[in-house]
Amino acid sequence: ADISVETWKESVSGTGDFSGKKIAQGNRVVIRKTALQTEKTIIDPHGQKLKKIFTIGCIYKASAADEDVEQDCERFFQSVDFIDK
């Protein structure tokens, strides 16, 4: 749960690494990237344009084999469908 909060804060502030590269975080390996197909420009109630984009992440124990992490995460990323309502 704490990694979700951390990811949210990084997303909002624009400071996180969402490049799709593996990042070691304590006893975990995290891969996060943006879902480019979800990018939208919206207008807020004050008339300002805002870009909205979803991010997606994959978390593994640091002891997992590197290629397993990369392959499994890529399969997971490919399996997610974003539905625009």
The domain spans of the chain are 2-79
What tens digit of pLDDT does each residue of 12-24 get?
676 778 888 888 8
Q: What is the pLDDT of residue 60?
A: 86
End-to-end CA distance of the chain: 27
- What is the pTM assigned to this prediction? 0.69
Q: What is the pLDDT of residue 35?
A: 86
Residues of the chain with pLDDT under 70: 1-4, 8, 11-12, 14, 85
Task: Judge residue 45's burial from the number of C-beta atoms within 10 Å of its C-beta, 0-12 exposed, 13-18 middle, 19 or more buried.
Answer: exposed
Task: Decide if 31 contacts 57 (C-beta within 8 A).
Answer: yes
Q: What is the pLDDT of residue 49?
A: 93
